Amino acid sequence: NAGVMQNPRHLVRRRGQEARLRCSPMKGHSHVYWYRQLPEEGLKFMVYLQKENIIDESGMPKERFSAEFPKEGPSILRIQQVVRGDSAAYFCASSPERVRDEKLFFGSGTQLSVL
């Protein structure tokens, strides 16, 4: 009964490189949410996806950031040409349906460090 799996747990990138963060939702969950957490801050919503569809990307920066959740495989959050300000913990959450709060399960996150 695996939970939400995120990898890598830690990712170091130099400025200008690309970062790819992966999230495998819990079995049977078809809804994925990405949140970002800056140091000493709460989580901030980025994007909500269902299989093959982006439902709400209102929290995601318009440039350099993209997300997908293909029919097969994990959800990917992609950050192109990373900058130091992208350094943060990125959390993925999944739910079996449009979120009913107690059914939202978070992964352990990917800590992105940009040098």
Partner 1 sequence: GQQLNQSPQSMFIQEGEDVSMNCTSSSIFNTWLWYKQDPGEGPVLLIALYKAGELTSNGRLTAQFGITRKDSFLNISASIPSDVGIYFCAGPPQGGSEKLVFGKGTKLTVNP
CB burial string 90-113: b at 16+ within 10 A, e below:
bbbbbbbeeeeeeeeeebebbebe
- Tell me how far, at minimum, the Cβ of 114 lies from partner 1, in Å: 19
Which lies closer to partner 1 via its Cβ, residue 17 or residue 105?
105
Residues engaged in binding partner 1 (CB under 8 A): 4, 31, 33, 35, 40-45, 48, 55-56, 58-59, 91, 93, 98-99, 101-102, 104, 106-109, 111
CA-atom Rg of the chain in angstroms: 13
Structure-token pair, residue 1: 């009964």
Comparing CB distances to partner 1, the nearer of 43 and 79 is: 43
